[in-house]
């Protein structure tokens, strides 16, 4: 059954959407930035939108880059928190030239699943679960697994992003994450040759990307090999997988079909869309997810 999930995230609010933009609150500051899926009209007044603390303006020469215009006194960087059960995370946000701020708040629904799965695995086995986070960005999923007591390997090809994730770990009062700056597919190929095993794997691949040494990643061309490698790495019993395909807007059914071909049919599975509603109850889809437990 396809499900829609929205996390309970007090430090984040989707205020309004429309005319291909979204107005959001991260902690104490509000941001205004492009949102291609907001095809409807705004609900709130122009004055509300103009009062955003930070507004992103696209560069006319680029589809991806731009710059932020800040109100006086607004910092370039600040912190927010997230909690679930006994998990308490702190993360640093920053305004990047690609309109991102260092967090995808809809992914908090997956952080809850990762934390709960790791706690359950540890209770069942009495040992520390081993979790692999690929295309791991600034580490929200890494922190969720580590908060549950897992030994986490965090893989991303961009060194400054891995440094950012390490800062988030320290802000959250954690340590002992294994940091890997490398192309994700290259890393899992080597792990398969080594005979490594993990109790949980998290995959958040972009549509396109470059590895640390210039390796080219194209989702449609590489995802099947990636899933086959991950199937060889995942323990056959009691393990979990999380796959996001938000960057392409691809369907949850597609994700399920590709995963089942590589891993077989799991004991339990969930699939659907991650979303938020704004104050006017306009729901905007922000990611496709598929996850299972063996």
CA distance linking residue 283 with residue 36, whole number of Å: 14
Segment 212-230, tens digit of pLDDT: 788 898 888 999 999 999 9
CA distance linking residue 154 with residue 257, whole number of Å: 26
CA distance linking residue 31 with residue 11, whole number of Å: 13
DSSP state of 27: T
CA distance linking residue 175 with residue 98, whole number of Å: 29
Structure tokens at 82: 């997230």
CATH (residue range 102-293): 3.40.50.150
pTM: 0.96
SS3 228: helix
What's the confidence (pLDDT) of residue 265?
96
What's the confidence (pLDDT) of residue 248?
58
Q: Exposed, middle or buried: residue 197 (CB in 10 Å: 0-12, 13-18, 19+)? A: middle
Structure tokens at 209: 């990307």
CA distance linking residue 20 with residue 99, whole number of Å: 14
What's the confidence (pLDDT) of residue 139?
98
Q: Would you say 293 and 240 are in contact if contact means Cβ atoms under 8 Å apart?
A: yes
What's the confidence (pLDDT) of residue 60?
81
What's the confidence (pLDDT) of residue 224?
96
What's the confidence (pLDDT) of residue 199?
98
What's the confidence (pLDDT) of residue 258?
96
What's the confidence (pLDDT) of residue 273?
95
CA distance linking residue 94 with residue 92, whole number of Å: 7
What's the confidence (pLDDT) of residue 64?
79
Our CA angle for 126, 230, 235, nearest 5°, is: 25
Residues of the chain scoring pLDDT < 70 = 247-249
Q: Measured in whole angstroms, how far is the alpha carbon of residue 30 from the centre of its chain?
A: 21
Structure tokens at 226: 């990636």
Q: Measured in whole angstroms, how far is the alpha carbon of residue 26 from the centre of its chain?
A: 16
């Amino acid at each position: 059954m396809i499900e829609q999930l929205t996390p309970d995230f007090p430090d984040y609010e989707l205020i309004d959407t429309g005319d291909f933009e979204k107005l959001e609150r991260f902690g104490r500051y509000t941001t205004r930035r492009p949102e291609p899926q907001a095809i409807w009209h705004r609900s709130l007044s122009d004055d509300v939108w103009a009062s955003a603390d930070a507004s992103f303006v696209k560069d006319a020469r680029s589809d991806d880059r731009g710059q932020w215009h800040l109100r006086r006194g607004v910092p370039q960087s600040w912190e927010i928190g997230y909690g679930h059960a006994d998990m308490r995370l702190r993360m640093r946000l920053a305004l990047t030239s690609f309109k991102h701020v260092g967090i995808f708040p809809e992914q908090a629904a997956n952080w809850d699943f990762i934390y709960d799965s790791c706690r359950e695995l540890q209770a069942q086995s009495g040992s520390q679960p081993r979790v692999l986070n690929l295309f791991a960005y600034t580490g929200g999923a890494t922190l969720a697994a580590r908060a549950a007591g897992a030994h986490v390997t965090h893989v991303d090809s961009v060194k400054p992003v891995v440094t950012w994730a390490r800062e988030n770990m320290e802000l959250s009062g954690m340590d002992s994450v294994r940091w890997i700056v490398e192309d994700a597919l290259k890393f899992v190929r080597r792990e398969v040759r080594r005979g490594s095993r993990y109790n949980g794997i998290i995959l958040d691949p972009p549509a396109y990307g470059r590895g640390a040494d210039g390796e080219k990643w194209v989702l449609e061309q590489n995802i099947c090999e990636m899933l086959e490698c991950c199937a060889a790495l995942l323990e056959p019993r009691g393990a979990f997988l999380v796959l996001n395909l938000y960057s392409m807007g691809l369907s949850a059914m597609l994700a399920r079909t590709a995963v089942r071909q590589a891993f077989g049919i799991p004991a339990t599975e969930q699939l659907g869309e991650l979303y938020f509603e704004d104050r006017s109850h306009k729901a905007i889809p922000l990611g496709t997810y598929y996850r299972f437990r063996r």
